[in-house]
Amino acid sequence: SQNALYGIWSGDGAGAATAWTTLVGAATHWQAVNEIPPNDDTSYVEATAADQIDEYTFGNLTPTSATIPGVQISMRARKTQAGALNIARMYRNSATNFQGANVALSTSYVSILEIIELDPDPAGLLPWTVASLNAAEWGARSRA
């Protein structure tokens, strides 16, 4: 196994990529990683190789317009094998993936928080809009 991802998500469906091949404790990938508080190894998805991506859709925000100063992403993950392994946050919009920085994993679960102040899509880093968040998918990429 490469990495195990457990996420604090409120996802509601499968995104464009569901490449993490191991699914435990749930019927779908997004259901395996959407509980608060974390249930750790009760339900999870796991990548079996580097550079596999798992992404999830989310329900629309209401109201339809608002000032959005930033987005905070929360993930919870650990590695399940020896060696240096990483995970990276993925944001998908307009059929393009935007990867966050690699975060080193240990054999114990770690909570990963990232604040993204500006929308990387389109290029030029613009403020977030309700429309861009409603169109977004979020997930993770296994990294060596």
Residue 21 contacts by C-beta under 8 Å, 6 or more apart in sequence? 46, 47, 48, 52
pLDDT in tens, the chain (144 residues): 344 333 334 678 899 999 999 999 999 999 998 887 888 899 999 999 999 999 999 888 877 788 788 888 888 999 998 999 999 999 999 889 999 999 999 999 999 999 999 998 766 688 888 888 889 999 999 999
Q: What is the pLDDT of residue 9?
A: 43
- The Cα 134–Cα 130 span in angstroms is 6
pLDDT at site 122: 66
pTM of the predicted structure, to 2 decimals = 0.86
- Contact by Cβ (8 Å): 130, 68: yes
According to the model, what pLDDT value does residue 63 have?
A: 75
